[in-house]
Structure 1
Amino acid sequence: MPADDRDEDARRRRKRRSLDAVFGEVLPETTTDERDPDPRGDDRETWYRENRPPHHDR
């Protein structure tokens, strides 16, 4: 690999690390359908009901 290509690769890696440090990882390494399901189940609905503001009950 020519030195120019290595320099360009190193520059891209530094830029990517810098962006990740500021914005975080935009796309995860795996998607939710590739991961094991949460053993606790889907707690989003339960969390919503428990944390629902009182004025939403009317």
Structure 2
Amino acid sequence: MTGDDVPEPEWARRKRLAEVFGDVLPDTTNDEREPEAPRQESSAEEWLRAQVPPHHG
């Protein structure tokens, strides 16, 4: 509630909470979305993976 005891509209409450906490849950789940294209590794990621010793799998 606001300072003058007027009930806060639901949309205003959601907006205020989103500003503080951000979006906690996505609007859709993975099974509702189109599959994403496989992510391309950058050259830096490739290099890092190449540096991992074999015994660290």
- Taking structure 1 as the reference length, what is the TM-score of the superposition? 0.49
Judging by fraction of residues, say which structure has more helix. Answer: 1
Larger radius of gyration: 2
